């Protein structure tokens, strides 16, 4: 009987041990990825680092993704955006561009993370935009969107109202046409609609001034060009074109006695 009792105790101990070591662990729920926070990670100003099927000339993108109201601007080309799918697991946003005249086109924006950093929510990443025709561009982050960027987006929308942009892929080809420009001022002005308009007004003002005021206006133009050549961003170019156009209007009026 003593042995039976011992056997029963051993058996009970074994069962108790099984309960401790083999009992199912409480499931630990993975923290859900906040979709709005994930989308906000794409917001900002981005610039091309490398591309497939496109020219290497720098292209600037301004992105802002939300469920109901998004912006996708490539240089001076702005597109209405409708989000189709937000895949937080694979770090991909699928969206469709559309407009009154523009054809619809499906694109994706993908966070490309180095293998060693995968799984880290705050890991640095390259943003890859894949266009409807299979071309893609890899983008590097420049900065967050500013009030000036939102103004640029509004101006680009106005510019779009005056011209049929077509598809995003077509806009890529249009941007690549500017690659033949040999300096920053010409290349950037070529790609930015508002800058094109500002330069046209600048050139018209100086053309009339040189006709009416000769060498004095030519010297002012040389100073203006030197200031433009020193610019390294679109804001600087926009301000220089505007300031010098205003300067010409104030200092070389059309009704000057010099004009004969």
- Strand-pair category, 44-52 with 60-64: antiparallel
Say how far apart CA 108 and CA 237 lie, in whole Å.
Answer: 32
Residue-wise pLDDT tens digits, 50-83: 555 444 446 788 888 888 778 888 876 778 888 9
Residue 6 forms part of a structural domain:
no
pLDDT greater than 70 at residue 44: yes
Token pair for 210: 């040189």
Residue-wise pLDDT tens digits, 207-216: 888 888 989 9
Domain of residue 53, residue span = 35-148
Residue 162 forms part of a structural domain:
no
Residue-wise pLDDT tens digits, 94-104: 998 865 455 67
Same domain (yes/no): 122, 224: no
Phi, psi of 84 (to 5 degrees): -100, -45
Inter-helix orientation angle 193-213/147-161, to 10°: 80
Q: Would you state the pLDDT for residue 30? A: 40
Q: Half-sphere exposure (CA, 13 Å, Cβ side) for 99?
A: 18
pLDDT greater than 80 at residue 228: yes
Number of domains in the chain: 2
Token pair for 150: 């939102």
CB 66 within 8 A of CB 36: yes
Residue 212 forms part of a structural domain:
yes
Last residue of a domain, one of 148, 171, 197: 148
CB burial string 28-52: b at 16+ within 10 A, e below: eeeeeeeeeebbebbbbbbebeebe
Best CA proximity match to 73, nearest among 158, 13, 181: 158
- The enclosing domain of 110 has a CATH number of 2.40.128
- Between 4 and 188, the higher pLDDT residue: 188
Residue 169 forms part of a structural domain:
no
Say how far apart CA 135 and CA 52 lie, in whole Å.
Answer: 6
CA 219 to chain centre: 38
Residue 106 forms part of a structural domain:
yes
Q: Tell me what the pLDDT averaged over the chain comes to.
A: 73
Measured CA to CA in angstroms, residue 35 lies from 28, 31, 75, 100, 102 at distances of 21, 12, 27, 29, 28
Q: Would you state the pLDDT for residue 24? A: 40
Same domain (yes/no): 247, 192: yes
Q: Where are the beta strands (DSSP E) in 16-91?
A: 44-52, 60-64, 70-74, 77-87
Residue 142 forms part of a structural domain:
yes
């Amino acid at each position: 009987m003593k042995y039976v009792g011992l056997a029963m105790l051993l058996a009970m101990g074994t069962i108790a041990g099984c309960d401790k070591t083999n009992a199912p662990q409480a499931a630990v729920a993975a923290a859900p990825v906040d979709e709005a926070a994930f989308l906000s990670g794409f917001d900002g100003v981005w610039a091309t680092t490398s591309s497939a099927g496109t020219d290497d000339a720098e292209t600037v993108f301004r992105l802002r993704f939300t469920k109901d109201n998004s912006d996708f601007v490539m240089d001076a080309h702005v597109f209405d955006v409708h989000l189709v799918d937000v895949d937080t697991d694979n770090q991909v946003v699928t969206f469709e561009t559309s407009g009154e005249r523009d054809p619809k086109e499906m694109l994706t924006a993908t966070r490309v993370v180095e293998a060693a950093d995968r799984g880290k929510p705050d890991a640095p990443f390259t943003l890859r935009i894949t266009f409807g025709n299979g071309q893609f561009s890899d983008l590097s982050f420049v900065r967050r969107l500013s009030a000036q960027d939102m103004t640029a987006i509004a101006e680009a929308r106005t510019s779009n109202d005056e011209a049929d942009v077509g598809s995003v892929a077509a806009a890529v080809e249009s941007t690549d046409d500017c690659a033949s420009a040999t300096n920053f001022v010409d290349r950037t002005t070529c790609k930015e609609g508002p800058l094109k308009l500002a330069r046209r007004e600048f050139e018209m003002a100086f053309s009339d001034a040189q006709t009416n005021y000769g060498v004095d206006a030519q010297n002012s133009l040389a100073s203006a060009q030197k200031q433009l050549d020193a610019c390294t961003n679109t804001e600087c170019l926009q301000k220089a074109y505007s300031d010098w156009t205003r300067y010409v209007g104030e200092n070389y009026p059309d009704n000057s006695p010099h004009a004969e």
